[in-house]
Amino acid sequence: MKFSLQMALRFLRSSKGQTLMIIIGIAIGVSVQIFIGSLIQGLQKSLVDTTIGNASQITITNDRDDKLIDDHKMLMDKIKTTDDDIINITAVYDSATFLAIDNESQSLLLRGFDIDTADKIYDIYDRIYLGKAPIKDNEIILGKQLQEKYDLSLNDRIDILTVDRVDQVFTVVGFFDFKVTSLNTNWGITTLTTSQTVFDSDGITAIEMQVDEGSVFEADAIAAKIAEQLYDYDLKIDNWKDANQQLLSGLQGQSVSSYMIQVFVMISVILGIASVLAITVLQKSRQVGILKAMGIKNKVAGQIFLFEGFILGFLGAVLGILFGLGLAYSFTIFAVNPDNTPVVNLYIDWRFIFISGIIAMIASTLAAAFPAIRSSRLNPIDIIRNN
């Protein structure tokens, strides 16, 4: 083993109490960092997830008067080749209609979905709590609030009026709950073919898609690539980021404050280590002096304390990661909603945890730099003479 490393280990072992204190200090710093980091990341993820997890992230529409997109199969093939991160692409026929029940009438967005591909975005099958998804022509599913409001049951027949006052009779085959009242009161979901038949068109009104989970924050860039690809077709391409600027700046503010907390935690840890190690150098100056008299080089005398810093950082980081994970775990166990689901789902990002550990290790090695310089400058004659 390297001499300076062996020396460092022996010095650390000889003052166990002090060593343990520093390690625990670093560990607390690292665990707070990991806990706060995981909490904030978890919060952000769930926020983003509720916003766009079951929604179209990039939507293509046409500004033309009839709002229709022609030849959508060809367009969708083109889009799929634009970026590997594009997933869950589906064609939709939306139309604003009126639902007429019991002499009352209310507006209803009639969404003609290709149910199987739309399910990838909207989780339609899972959201149906009663009945089944529409398959045959003129089958429809409605939201929970509508069912309650009009006291509807399966296989009820309802009238839907198009803007052109054409009356269509639909059979209610199921009810869904998207957990969002506006969707539950305003959406009626039918098949794409039904919509196209009702409106006597073979076009669609929108192409919707999602991107891979890891790329949701690149949705604007991907949308721009699509825009370039479809430049000749004069279509309108929206993405969730442009539509949610406020959410994004909120997230950013949250991230910045989380970084600030983490930086300050780390700084206080570094100051703590640096001051304790500075004392250690004083305590060990007799040893360093005698070693220098016996011929260790100044560089090696410095290395001893750099190794001390590194070892303390390493053990502190390992312990801190364990603490942090334990803290996160107990948080999900003890901070729960009435239904026993955690208040916040923590996001355990191993890369982030690994980096936190590495930073703690680098930081404590750097914190040892000052004591190391002191040790390398120590003149042995001052020690030898002083007795």
Which is closer to other proteins, CB of 9 or CB of 243? Answer: 9
The contact mask relative to other proteins for 257-286 (x = CB under 8 A, - = no) is -----------------------------x
Which of positions 60-89 make contact with other proteins (CB under 8 A)?
none
Per CB under 8 A, the list member of 13, 16, 165, 351 interacting with other proteins is 13
In a 13 Å sphere around the CA of 298, the CA atoms on its Cβ side amount to: 7
Question: For residue 239, is it left (φ>0), alpha (ψ between -120 and 50) or beta?
Answer: beta
Question: How close are the terminal C-alpha atoms of the chain, in Å?
Answer: 32
CB of 279 to other proteins, least distance (A): 16
Q: Which of 1, 164, 169, 339 binds other proteins (CB under 8 A)?
A: 1
Q: Is the Cβ–Cβ distance between 107 and 98 less than 8 Å? A: yes
Number of residues interacting with other proteins: please give it, by CB under 8 A: 26
**Cα distances (Å, whole numbers) of residue 278 to 88, 123, 181, 363:** 59, 60, 62, 15
Q: Which of 226, 291, 306, 368 binds other proteins (CB under 8 A)?
A: 291
Q: Taking every pair of C-alpha atoms in the chain, what is the biggest distance, in angstroms?
A: 108
Among 42, 188, 309, 380, binds other proteins (CB under 8 A): 380
Q: Which helix (H) or strand (E) holds 379?
A: none
How far is the C-alpha of 325 from the C-alpha of 353, rounded, in Å?
9
**Nearest-angstrom CA–CA distance, 269 and 159:** 69
Based on CB atoms, which residue is closest to other proteins, 81 or 387? Answer: 387
Among 14, 182, 275, 330, binds other proteins (CB under 8 A): 14
Tell me the closest approach of the beta carbon of residue 332 to other proteins, in angstroms: 44
Q: Given the DSSP bridges, would you call strands 104-113 and 187-191 parallel, antiparallel or unpaired?
A: parallel
Judged by CB under 8 A, does residue 169 bind other proteins? no
**In this structure, are residues 23 and 29 in contact, taking their beta carbons and an 8 Å threshold?**
no
Measured from the CB atom, the residue of 6 and 330 that comes closer to other proteins is 6
User: Which of 51-59, 294-302, 345-353, 358-366 is the region at the interface with other proteins (rule: CB under 8 A)?
Assistant: 294-302
User: Which residues in this chain contact other proteins in the complex, by CB under 8 A?
Assistant: 1-3, 6, 10-11, 13-14, 286-287, 290-300, 380-381, 384-385, 387
